[in-house]
Chains A and B, each alone.
Chain A
Amino acid sequence: MKRVLDRNQDKAEQIRSLLKEKKVRMYNLISSPGAGKTTLLEQTCRHLDHQLRVGIIEGDVYTDRDAQRLKQYGFPIVLINTEGGCHLDSNSIDGALKEFDLEEMDLLFVENVGNLVCPSHFDLGETAKIAVVSTSEGDDKPIKYPMLFRDARAVILNKIDLLEHTNFNYDAFIKDLRQVNPTVPLFETSCTRGEGLQDWYRWLEQEGRNA
Chain B
Amino acid sequence: MHEVSIVNDLFRIVLDVAEKEKLSRIDKVHFQLGRMMQVVPELFRFAFDSAKADTIADQAQLEIEFLSVKMRCKDCGHEFEVDQEDFCCPQCQGVDLDLLQGKELFIKSIEGE
Task: Give A residues with C-beta under 8 Å from B.
Answer: 1-8, 85-87, 89, 117-118, 121-122, 143, 145-147, 150, 178-180, 182-183
Contacts and interface: CB of A to CB of B under 8 A. Distances in A.
Interface residues of B, number: 24
Given A86-B1, A117-B2, A178-B95, A7 B9 contact: yes
Interface centre among A145, A146, A178 (most CB of B within 10 A): A146
B96 interface: yes
B42 interface: no
A147 B106 CA distance: 18
Contact of B5 (A87, A143, A178): A87
Given A178-B95, A179-B88, A182-B95, A4 B9 contact: yes
Contacts of A6: 9, 13
Interface of B: 1-2, 5-6, 9-10, 12-13, 17, 31, 36-38, 85, 87-88, 95-96, 99, 103, 105-108
A19 to B, nearest CB: 23
A121 B37 contact: yes
Contact of B9 (A8, A117, A150, A182): A8
A8 B96 CA distance: 28
Contacts of A117: 2, 38
